[in-house]
Structure 1
Amino acid sequence: MATFIVSTMVLWTFVFHNISTYRDLDRQVAETNAQMMAKAYHEYLLRTIRQIDQAAQLLRNEYAKELGGLNSRSQELFSVLSPDLLFQVAVIGRDGRLAFSNLQRVTDGIDLSDREHFRVHREREGDFLFISKPLLGRVSQKWSIQFTRKIFNDRGEFDGVIVLSIDPYHLGRFSESVSLAGRDVIALLRQDRTLLSRVLGGSYDEQYLGKVVEPRPYMDPHAPDSGVFEVTSYIDGVQRIGGYQKLRPYDLLVVAMVDQEAAFARSRSAALLGYLIGVGGTVLLTLAALATRIAIRTVFREYVTVKAMNAELKAAHEELADAHRALKRREEELVVLAETDPLCRIPNRRRFIAVAESELVRHRRYGRDLSIVVLDIDHFKVVNDTHGHTAGDAVLIGVTRVIRKRLRETDTFARIGGEEFAIVLPETDGGGAFTVAESLRQAVAETLIDLDAGRSATVTISIGIACLDERHTSVSDILNRADKALYSAKGSGRNRTVHGEECGLRM
Structure 2
Amino acid sequence: MNHDPALPVTPRTTNDTRLLSMINASGDCFWEVDVERRFVYISDNMALMMGYPATEVVGRSVQDFMTPEYKLQIHRQTIERGAPIHQHGAIRHEGEFICKDGSGKWGDTVSVPVFDDDGVHIGYFGITRDITQRKKDEHALREANRLLRGQVQRINQLHEQLREQAIRDDLTGVYNRRHFVAVAEREIARSRRQQQPLSLVMLDVDFFKRVNDVHGHLAGDEALRVIGLLLRSTSRAEDLACRLGGEEFAVLLPGMDHHGAIERAQEWRSALASLKTRIGGGTELSLTASFGVATFPQHAGSVTELMRAADQRLYHAKDSGRNRVVGALDE
What's the TM-score, normalizing by structure 1?
A: 0.37
Instruction: State the match for 2:251 in structure 1.
Output: 423
Match of 2:170 among 337, 342, 350: 342
Instruction: State the match for 1:438 in structure 2.
Output: 266
Q: In structure 2, give the amino acid aligned to 1:411.
A: D
Question: 1:434 is paired with a residue of what secondary structure?
Answer: helix
Partners of 1:445 and 1:315 in 2: CA distance:
56
The structural deviation recorded for 1:459 is 2.4
Partners of 2:142 and 2:271 in 1: CA distance:
60
Q: Is the 8 A contact 2:198 2:254 kept in 1?
A: yes
Instruction: State the match for 1:387 in structure 2.
Output: 215
Instruction: State the match for 2:279 in structure 1.
Output: 451
The structural deviation recorded for 1:360 is 2.2
Match of 1:486 among 296, 314, 318: 314
- Per-residue displacement from partner, 1:343-365 (whole Å, max 9, x unpaired)? 32333334433543343233222
Which structure 2 segments of 5+ residues have no match? Answer: 1-14, 29-128
The structural deviation recorded for 1:432 is 3.1
Partners of 1:371 and 1:338 in 2: CA distance:
25
Question: 1:453 is paired with a residue of what secondary structure?
Answer: helix
Partners of 2:132 and 2:150 in 1: CA distance:
27
- Per-residue displacement from partner, 1:76-127 (whole Å, max 9, x unpaired)? xxxxxxxxxxxxxxxxxxxxxxxxxxxxxxxxxxxxxxxxxxxxxxxxxxxx
Question: 2:158 is paired with a residue of what secondary structure?
Answer: helix
Change (3 A) 1:5 1:353: farther
The structural deviation recorded for 1:395 is 1.2
Q: Is the 8 A contact 1:467 1:500 kept in 2?
A: no
Q: Who wins on radius of gyration, i.e. which is larger? A: 2
Which structure 1 segments of 5+ residues have no match? Answer: 13-298
Instruction: State the match for 2:194 in structure 1.
Output: 366
- Per-residue displacement from partner, 1:306-359 (whole Å, max 9, x unpaired)? 553453344223322322222223323333343333332333334433543343
Partners of 2:166 and 2:232 in 1: CA distance:
20
Q: Is the 8 A contact 1:410 1:426 kept in 2?
A: yes
Q: Is the 8 A contact 2:184 2:252 kept in 1?
A: yes
- Per-residue displacement from partner, 1:44-95 (whole Å, max 9, x unpaired)? xxxxxxxxxxxxxxxxxxxxxxxxxxxxxxxxxxxxxxxxxxxxxxxxxxxx
CA RMSD for the aligned pairs? Answer: 3.5
Partners of 1:317 and 1:411 in 2: CA distance:
39
Q: Is the 8 A contact 2:172 2:227 kept in 1?
A: no
Q: Is the 8 A contact 2:300 2:309 kept in 1?
A: no
The structural deviation recorded for 1:388 is 1.4
In the alignment, structure 1 residue 330 sits paired with structure 2 residue 161:
no
Q: In structure 2, give the amino acid aligned to 1:377.
A: V
Q: Is the 8 A contact 1:482 1:500 kept in 2?
A: no
The structural deviation recorded for 1:384 is 1.4
What's the TM-score, normalizing by structure 2?
A: 0.53
Q: Is the 8 A contact 2:292 2:326 kept in 1?
A: yes
Q: In structure 2, give the amino acid aligned to 1:374.
A: M
Change (3 A) 1:309 1:429: closer
Instruction: State the match for 1:467 in structure 2.
Output: 295
Partners of 2:235 and 2:251 in 1: CA distance:
9
Change (3 A) 1:308 1:425: closer
- Per-residue displacement from partner, 1:362-408 (whole Å, max 9, x unpaired)? 32223222210111112212211221122112211233445556555
Change (3 A) 1:492 1:318: same
Instruction: State the match for 1:413 in structure 2.
Output: 241
Q: Is the 8 A contact 2:169 2:243 kept in 1?
A: yes
| Count of paired positions | 215
Change (3 A) 1:313 1:478: same
Match of 1:353 among 181, 186, 198: 181
In the alignment, structure 1 residue 312 sits paired with structure 2 residue 145:
no
Partners of 1:401 and 1:419 in 2: CA distance:
14
Q: In structure 1, give the amino acid aligned to 2:282.
A: G
Partners of 2:20 and 2:230 in 1: CA distance:
88
